[in-house]
Structure 1
Amino acid sequence: MSVSIETLNQQFAIPNVLRFVDAAPGMPVIEITGADASARIAVQGAQVLEWQPAGQQPVLWVSRAAVYQAGKGVRGGVPVCWPWFGAGDAGKPAHGFVRTRMWQVRETGQNDQGVFVKLGIVDDAETRALWNHAFDLELIVMAGKTLTMELVTRNTGDAPFTITDALHTYFRTGDINQTEVSGLDNTPYLDKVTGFGQSTQHGAVTFTGETDRVYLDTKAECVISDNGLNRKIYVAKAGSDSTVVWNPWIEKERGFADMAAGEYQEMLCVETCNAATDTITVAPAQSHHLLAKVSVAV
């Protein structure tokens, strides 16, 4: 059920710091202008779209061709993949169903770490038709000098359920050819480009073509060396035993109507997740916390 911008602003706006605007009809977006950072978060999908620390370049990437439309995901930012990551069963949406549904704004505020927003979604008849479990899912976003995103899965039913999930983060990069990711040396991975063959990473991840890998059994912080913009982006995590690294490159990009030509050179996904064989079982009345913390140094 949609809530008007006027109502959202009456209940949750913070003068001169946080307000709600319509990115498109039926697409409310939270705009944050804090002392330490600015940010934008779509209420649909609880999708963080932008985070830019004061005095820095934008850290997240959203396509110039992205579509802002009810029921469609936005290409970029941080889509929430839940309760499954990747392709769903026949007739079910890829990366789950919460990224294209409207969430409820639960709380906004600010403290010494920045400006925070809590968004939530619970099961209903539509979700149970796709995945027959009772749940409460909440995303807590803290936008300050560090961007913190915590996805909390609560089992509100009377039987355990098993999920995979991801904070599918798209990062802006000055030039993918000059970008590398460290923190995954000697980590085994499944390579989707080669039909999910298993390999082991040696040294930093560099990019010379389509890259789509699920790194397994890793809790490590990743560091994106964005040499095109002369900065390092740090991606720390908790509650996650796998990391996905993705860039579509030239041919795959052409298949995306919501990516402009050549944009693959400006983006890179390093995703905090539980994917492939890395599954999470949540018992009744229990919860799972997936946490990503992003920071920048120049």
Structure 2
Amino acid sequence: MSSDKEHVEHCKGVNGLDKVILRENRRCSAEVYLYGGQVTSWKNAQGEELLFLSSKAFFLQAAFRPPRTIRGGIPICFPQFGNIGSLERHGFARNRIWSVDTDPPPCPSNVSHKAFVDLILRHSEEDMKIWPHSEVRVEGLETLDYLDNLMNRERFTEQEDAITFESEVDKVYLSTPTKIAILDHERKRTFELRKDGLPDAVVWNPWDKKAKAMPDFGDDEYTNMLCVEAACVEEPVTLKPGEEWKGRLEISAVPSSYCSEQLDPRRLLLSG
């Protein structure tokens, strides 16, 4: 926070919610609620309000109370926007209580005499239940083509360096390397897959709706598993009389520190 206490005021807002008011030397100001980490006011030197805030959200106090979200201002939509994903609309960050960082990094030199505040959102056990794969990632599949079984097996090229699990995933990655790793940071271990004769790899998680629809699968077990299988999908193996085909899959579990040194540094992050 600013070293000048006159520029940063901690006080109570609607329904007793904590908020921070920031004031700048030219009389500009901003108001930030810790509920949602949301900016609810921004005024220029003439005192003109520059942000929209619904009059009902402010004056009807019942609409300005957790778990309802604040309508207007500058909200934080995380880890998803709208209903694109399996979480509540716009994610959970905007209806959680944030906290003020008491030891923030120094303010950049080019914004001297400005008021600022750093907010932190710490995840709860409930957040981890709905965002379960934040500590798991797979290495070795980035930039590859894949068939998406949820899109009628349409072919795509992996574009992202980080892929988050927010819904069902059922993909077949094509022409994959002979070595793939699944890193589990929470348990500090890595499963290493080595394969021959199996050019493709399947990545699958049924997520919540399909898990509940499967009679032989626990409703919440999708949070504790990730399927990565070596396969031969794009080009079936055809044998003539007398011909042989060999396929090999070797799985080993090693400390994550070992695998991070041995594997190709290119990474496809699987988290959620």
Give the TM-score normalised by structure 2.
Answer: 0.43
Higher helix share: 2
Give the TM-score normalised by structure 1.
Answer: 0.39
Structure showing greater radius of gyration is: 2
Higher strand share: 1
